[in-house]
Amino acid sequence: MRTQSLANPSPVAPPSVSAVVAAAVSPTLESAELFQGSSLLRIAHRGETYLLRVTRQGKLLLTK
């Protein structure tokens, strides 16, 4: 098992400029507003229907 020295941590690459711009421009939606008290949401996208659900652990799961 390899351990990493705290005195010399691995460098972490800064986010790209495009990632920063996308985060600033992209809208943020609250999941509670989307689900409106439900745990299942249907999403129509390009003629396909997807299901977005909240799991028992509170995570989001998207399925086709």
Q: Which domains does the chain have, with CATH numbers?
A: 30-63 (2.10.70.10)
What is the C-alpha to C-alpha distance for residues 31 and 54, in angstroms, rounded to an integer?
Answer: 9
pLDDT digits (tens, 9 = 90+) for 8-63: 666 777 878 777 776 677 888 999 999 999 999 999 999 999 999 999 999 999 99
| pTM of the full structure | 0.60
Query: Nearest Cα to 51, choosing from 59, 39, 63?
Result: 63
